[in-house]
């Protein structure tokens, strides 16, 4: 059960079927464009959507809003130093700002960044630096519960290649959001460390979900079963040279990010750029009160009872969705449950967006919002004008905001999803009528296929 009780509540809307139909059509059949006031359960993302604790709300009142050298920064920096062991701590307003600044200073034109999987904003920052992002996911590790691992043999081959000198950093995304939120094992991080040492390149963690990764190591690797998630997180950070994070996830707050490093000279270059684009190095685009809420959140997030509840909720939710007839990607991680829409609705071809069709059907059935991770997000337009080049998989992500929804909210999602699965043969696809050149899923306008 939830290891907390509820002190402040917020009503949720229950739009009628006709309102849902009108909202979806006005939004061009794109759930990103649907206003939150017509959504009953919002599982679009676990980012920036956490419920803060009473201790975090009271920490806000202690925020020191001094422009430079605020007490809030000292508290934040001490918590991050204790957790990571890195001396240099730089706050930023969210994860992608950290990526843009740090990767811009590590990479350059012609360079290569190698990773288990670069999250899409990470890839965008690598490419903005004129560099290339190479993803090397180890396909066979999912059986061991570590589907987020990097393929160390492929990474070694890349580094040994005559062009290997172009590789300037290795990035491990923990947990691996783009690969089903699966964790990265400590043995994979150790292997990455050895490769980085052999080739003189830094190992960096995208630590946005570091606590969930650490918990899943304690739950899945018998060698760490007696360790606390905090001890495992410290072991993960100890193996790397630095990290960045979106603190909108395991920071347990609604905004924030960080860069933390051992290398003082690199940190100074990042700070110089931070002043240009984010703010003075002791606040980095955040208010003092945000830094206090984050310091408290980073302390709470490694509590074993909280993490156990988080992982067990995802596991239970995945099992219930499976019983309801949905093809669920197993094993579940912590931050989301993924459903395979192509398997559920083989009658909808990829260019008619089966994952979008499922997500929209779920919205119409019960005002539930989930995100599509299929051809709308990862597919590409065919330069020859034919149907879109499909994504590798047509997944739908049911993300779990931290401490926001109770088990009965999720039961409602399961019941609604069961009704969609039962009637899935009648669900029809979509076609794109308007789309920008990049990141089309945020703004694209769609039409139901039956309207042709």
Query: Applying CB under 6 A, does 94 fall inside the site for ligand F0G?
Result: yes
CA distance from start to end of the chain? 48
Beta strand segments in 387-448, E: 395-399, 430-434, 445-448
Minimal distance in Å, beta carbon 74 to ligand F0G?
23
Minimal distance in Å, beta carbon 334 to ligand F0G?
12
How far is 170 from 256, CA to CA, in rounded Å? 24
Query: Which residues between 52 and 81 bind ligand F0G (CB under 6 A)?
Result: none
Among 177, 182, 299, 320, interactor with ligand F0G by CB under 6 A: 177
**R_g of the chain, CA atoms, integer Å:** 22
Minimal distance in Å, beta carbon 173 to ligand F0G?
5
Minimal distance in Å, beta carbon 16 to ligand F0G?
29
Among 24, 29, 31, 45, interactor with ligand F0G by CB under 6 A: 45
Query: Cα-flanking dihedrals φ and ψ of residue 397, to 5°?
Result: -105, 120
Among 64, 149, 206, 372, interactor with ligand F0G by CB under 6 A: 206
Alpha helix stretches (DSSP H) within 107-256: 120-128, 152-160, 186-199, 210-220, 229-239
Minimal distance in Å, beta carbon 205 to ligand F0G?
10
Helix (H) or strand (E) holding 312: helix 304-323
Residue 149 or 206: the one with the smaller Cβ distance to ligand F0G is: 206
Scored b (16 or more CB within 10 A) or e, 158-170 reads bbeeeebebbbbb
Query: Applying CB under 6 A, does 47 fall inside the site for ligand F0G?
Result: yes
Query: Applying CB under 6 A, does 257 fall inside the site for ligand F0G?
Result: yes
Answer for the pair 315, 215: CB distance below 8 angstroms, yes or no: no
Query: Applying CB under 6 A, does 173 fall inside the site for ligand F0G?
Result: yes
Among 63, 91, 95, 180, interactor with ligand F0G by CB under 6 A: 95
Among 75, 230, 248, 351, interactor with ligand F0G by CB under 6 A: 248
Cβ-proximal residues to 423 (8 Å cutoff; 6+ apart), any chain: 361
Among 119, 224, 398, 430, interactor with ligand F0G by CB under 6 A: 119
Beta strands 167-173 and 430-434 are unpaired
Among 40, 84, 125, 246, interactor with ligand F0G by CB under 6 A: 246
Binding segment (CB under 6 A) for ligand F0G, from list 21-29, 117-125, 361-369, 430-438: 117-125
How far is 229 from 234, CA to CA, in rounded Å? 9
Beta strands 88-92 and 257-261 are antiparallel
- Number of residues engaging ligand F0G in binding (CB under 6 A): 15
| Residue whose C-beta lies closest to ligand F0G | 95
Among 20, 96, 123, 168, interactor with ligand F0G by CB under 6 A: 96
DSSP class of 380: B
Residue 192 or 345: the one with the smaller Cβ distance to ligand F0G is: 192
Minimal distance in Å, beta carbon 335 to ligand F0G?
8
Closest CA to 334 of 291, 380, 283, 398: 398
Contacts with ligand F0G, residue ranges (CB under 6 A): 45, 47, 94-96, 119, 121-122, 173, 177, 206, 208, 246, 248, 257
């Amino acid at each position: 059960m939830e290891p907390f009780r509820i002190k402040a509540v917020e009503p949720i809307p229950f739009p009628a079927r006709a309102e849902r139909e009108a909202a979806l059509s006005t939004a061009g059949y794109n759930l990103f464009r649907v206003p939150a006031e017509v959504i009953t359960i919002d599982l679009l993302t676990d980012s920036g959507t956490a419920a803060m604790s009473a201790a975090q709300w009271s920490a806000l009142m202690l925020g020191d809003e001094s422009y430079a050298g605020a007490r809030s920064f000292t508290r934040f920096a001490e918590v991050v130093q204790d957790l990571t062991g890195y001396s240099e701590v730089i706050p930023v307003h969210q994860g992608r700002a950290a990526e843009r600044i740090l990767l811009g200073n590590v990479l350059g034109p012609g360079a290569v960044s190698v990773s288990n999987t670069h999250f899409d904003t990470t890839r965008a920052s690598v490419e903005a630096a004129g560099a290339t992002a190479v993803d090397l996911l180890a396909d066979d590790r999912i059986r061991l519960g570590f589907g987020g691992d990097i393929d160390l043999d492929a990474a070694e081959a890349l580094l040994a290649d005559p062009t290997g000198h172009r590789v300037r950093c290795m990035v491990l995304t923990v947990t691996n959001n783009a690969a089903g939120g699966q964790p990265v094992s400590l043995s994979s991080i150790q292997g990455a460390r050895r490769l980085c040492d052999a080739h003189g390149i830094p190992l960096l963690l995208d630590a946005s979900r570091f606590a969930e990764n650490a918990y899943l190591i304690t739950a899945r690797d018998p060698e760490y079963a007696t360790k606390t998630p905090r001890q495992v997180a410290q072991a993960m950070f100890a193996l790397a040279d630095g990290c960045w994070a979106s603190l909108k996830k395991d920071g347990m707050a609604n905004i924030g990010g960080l860069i933390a490093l051992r290398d003082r000279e690199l940190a100074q270059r990042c700070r110089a750029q931070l002043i240009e684009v984010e703010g003075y190095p002791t606040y980095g685009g955040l208010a003092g009160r945000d830094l206090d809420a984050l310091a408290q959140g980073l302390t709470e997030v490694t509590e074993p009872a909280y993490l156990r509840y988080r992982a067990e909720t995802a596991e239970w939710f995945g099992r219930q969705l499976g019983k309801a007839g949905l093809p669920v990607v197993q094993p579940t991680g912590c931050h989301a449950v993924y459903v395979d829409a192509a398997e559920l609705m083989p009658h909808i071809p990829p260019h008619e967006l089966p994952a979008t069709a499922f997500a929209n059907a779920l919205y119409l059935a019960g005002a539930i919002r989930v995100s599509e991770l299929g051809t709308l997000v990862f597919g590409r337009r065919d330069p020859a004008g034919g149907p879109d080049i499909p994504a590798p998989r047509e997944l739908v992500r049911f993300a779990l905001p931290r401490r926001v929804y109770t088990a009965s909210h999720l039961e409602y999602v399961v019941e609604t999803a069961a009704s969609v699965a039962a009637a899935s043969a009648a669900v029809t696809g979509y076609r794109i009528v308007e789309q920008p050149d990049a990141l089309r899923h945020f703004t694209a306008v769609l039409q139901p296929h039956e309207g042709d």
